[in-house]
Structure 1
Amino acid sequence: MALNNPYATYKNQSVNTATAEDLTLKLYEGCIKFINLAIIGIDQKNIELSNTNIIKAQNIINELNITLNMDYEISKNLRALYDYLNRRLVEANISKDKDILEEVKEFVVEFRDTWKQAMIIARKGK
């Protein structure tokens, strides 16, 4: 009988009990992490590492995109930005271009920081 991994159990529990707002924050943070790993892969000339992590970042951007509530005007703007970031990630993966990854990361960091501020404001308003 295999022993349960306490870290995996904690991680699973934190996702299962997280609010939608917290999950969005985790997606932004995961995207930044995967972009950083892709940059390391490019630096190390490790094509598999860079490719795998760029695809993970793309998957997160796609998830953020498809979960937008299009009843709000800002969602239309975010959809256009997410589409742009996805295209840039494809370009970065093809060309193994760290500058493109840094550009995408700047956007995602800005989204994350803005999202954190929105969460703080929303919680104060409750």
Structure 2
Amino acid sequence: MSSMRGASAYGRGAGAYARVGIESATMSANPHRLIVMLFDGAIGAIRAARIHIEAGNTGEKGKSISKALEIVNDGLAAALDIEKGGEIAERLASLYDYIARLLLSANLHNDVESLDQAERLLGDIASAWREIGTAEAQG
């Protein structure tokens, strides 16, 4: 019985430690790094959703897709500045909207292909975003 409580306490402690690590990284990150972290979070949530679909775990699949949607809509899309970003920002907004629709379809139909497509698109944008950061750091 006490080993169960110990394992439970360890799990809570490990989770709290991970949250502190993420919070620390977030607080010390520059705006460019924050966007990279959003991409990483969305892609990670999509990968988790795929695992849950394959395992038949509907509840956790829904949570993972909801997390990815929240990151795409409330993080990535909300960070766009259409006035400063112009056409590129408008195209990204359309692309994020399309990704959100793919995620909704994946959730509704347990569609792994929609998850794959959303992950590929986010991965491509994230890759370009990382290259911009590397170029800025060098130049």
The two structures have a TM-score, normalised by structure 1, of 0.92
1:46-65 matches, within 5 Å, as 46-62=57-73, 63-65=75-77
- Which residue does the alignment assign to 2:128? 114
1:1-126 matches, within 5 Å, as 5-62=16-73, 63-71=75-83, 72=85, 73-125=87-139
* Equivalent-residue separation in structure 2 for 1:119 and 1:26 (angstroms): 13
* Length, aligned pairs only: 123
* Equivalent-residue separation in structure 2 for 1:49 and 1:6 (angstroms): 22
Task: Return the offset for 1:78.
Answer: 0.2
Q: What are the superposed Cα offsets for residues 52-96 of structure 1, whole Å, 9 maximum, x if unpaired?
A: 000100001102111101122200000000011111111110001
> Which stretch has the larger CA shift, 82-91 or 5-14?
5-14
Change (3 A) 1:6 1:41: closer
What is the identity percentage for the equivalent residue pairs of Structure 1 and Structure 2?
Answer: 26
* Equivalent-residue separation in structure 2 for 1:7 and 1:50 (angstroms): 22
- Letter matched to residue 91 of structure 1: S
Larger Rg: 2
3-state secondary structure, aligned to 1:68:
coil
- Which sections of structure 1, spanning at least 5 residues, go unmatched? none
Structure with higher helix content:
2
- The runs of 4+ residues in structure 1 deviating greater than 6 Å are none
* Equivalent-residue separation in structure 1 for 2:102 and 2:117 (angstroms): 9
- Which sections of structure 2, spanning at least 5 residues, go unmatched? 1-12
- Which residue does the alignment assign to 2:4? none
Change (3 A) 1:11 1:104: same
The two structures have a TM-score, normalised by structure 2, of 0.84
Task: Return the offset for 1:8.
Answer: 3.0
- Letter matched to residue 20 of structure 1: P
